[in-house]
Amino acid sequence: MSGDKVLVALSGGTQSTVTAWLLKKQGMQVRGVYFDFYGKPNTQDILSQYERKLGFSIQLVNVKEQIEKLLLAELTDSLLAGQIPNIKQTFHQKFLLPALFDLKGLQFQKVAAGYRVLLQNDSVNNIVRVNRYPEPELDEAVLLVGLNPQQIGSMELPLGGIPNSMTQKIADELQLYEEGKVLQTDWRALEDALSERVKVDVSKHAEVVGKGGERIGATEDFTQIKLTSSFPDPQDPKLLYTVWDIDPSTRKITVGKKELRKVKEIHLKDASWFARADLGFETLSCNMAWNLKMKPVPVKILQFEGNRLKAYFDQPLEGLAADIYNGQSVVWVIGSELLGGARVMSVL
């Protein structure tokens, strides 16, 4: 609403800066916040450049130590499980959004981020519905998993209503960036840098090796691995190794040939609804997506304990369609509307 005070999370990239500019053009009182986890010496100078171009103040919050601790823990847990971490998703869900809502307090009516998510007001039911971005391969609604309807209702996500090409055009016209003066997060570079610092105490874990002795990965607790069970290929998670031998004395697990991963059922935790105050259901048939670049698949969801759910697939998922692991976020969909989401607790 015009005149509202809105706090915008800025990363320095195209999406967040265009978001802030659009909200200012709509007449909102914009203030930016930049969570700095790089600690570069010229960050404040670059933010001053952004302030002059965008026409509002930006608060610098140093979170380098806090973010490193959070992301290192995520990397360690993922690598131990032979999984591919998603540190961008971890940052947004476990740090940025909670921090943004904490800062909102009583001073701001709204918070905003540069997410490609389409929010639509349903005045009849007095709720805000979350819909898939018109270009589904760019949809970022999975980042909202964990938010409640009140939080969704206090968000401004203007990029959800315009084509991505228009976002790029606006950014070019703003001429915001000067050579050597850009604040933009390189998630892949950050992941590589943090990965070099991950230290795993192998004495507490089991090594997973191939029949020729080559190292495949590691598992956090070898007692949970059984003969003929499976271990995901860390480089190609849609494939599984078959466990052939377990040696408790050396804590070494030997695996055989790869086969296509199959998923029949998953258990979910931290379930939240985007446009409903509570779960309030016993069963729900809908579509589910965990990588929004993929076509959602039919699923039946059962509530079994508070915000914990079970999801059953009519047909087992195989190959790329089965690329789902503990800790991942999922959303469930009816038509173009995203009903809510949860985090994967276990895959069966």
Residue 336 belongs to domain spanning: 262-347
Q: What is the pLDDT of residues 95-104, one digit of tens each?
A: 999 999 999 9
One domain, residues 323 and 245: no
N residues, the chain: 348
One domain, residues 187 and 209: no
One domain, residues 184 and 236: no
pLDDT computed for residue 168 by the predictor: 92
Is residue 128 assigned to a domain? no
Rounded Cα distance, 203 and 68, in Å:
24
- Strand, helix or coil for residue 60: strand
pLDDT computed for residue 323 by the predictor: 72
Q: By mean pLDDT, which of 31-45, 55-69, 154-168 is the weakest?
A: 31-45
Retrieve residue 98's tokens. Answer: 């909670």
Q: Which residues are registered as beta bridge partners of 59? A: 33
pLDDT computed for residue 79 by the predictor: 63
One domain, residues 9 and 43: yes
One domain, residues 241 and 277: no
Which residues neighbour 38 within 8 Å (Cβ) at sequence distance 6 or greater?
64
pLDDT computed for residue 293 by the predictor: 65
pLDDT computed for residue 109 by the predictor: 95
Q: By mean pLDDT, which of 95-109, 141-155, 318-332 is the weakest?
A: 318-332
Question: Pairing relation of β-strands 262-273 and 308-318?
Answer: antiparallel
- Could you give the number of structural domains in the chain? 3
Contact 64, 38 (CB under 8 A): yes
What are the φ/ψ torsions at residue 103 (nearest 5 degrees)?
Answer: -70, -25
Place of tokens 């698949």: 297
What are the φ/ψ torsions at residue 154 (nearest 5 degrees)?
Answer: -100, 15
Rounded Cα distance, 179 and 87, in Å:
27
Contact 91, 191 (CB under 8 A): no
One domain, residues 273 and 171: no
Residue 321 CA, chain-centre distance (Å), reads 18
> Does 201 have pLDDT greater than 70?
no
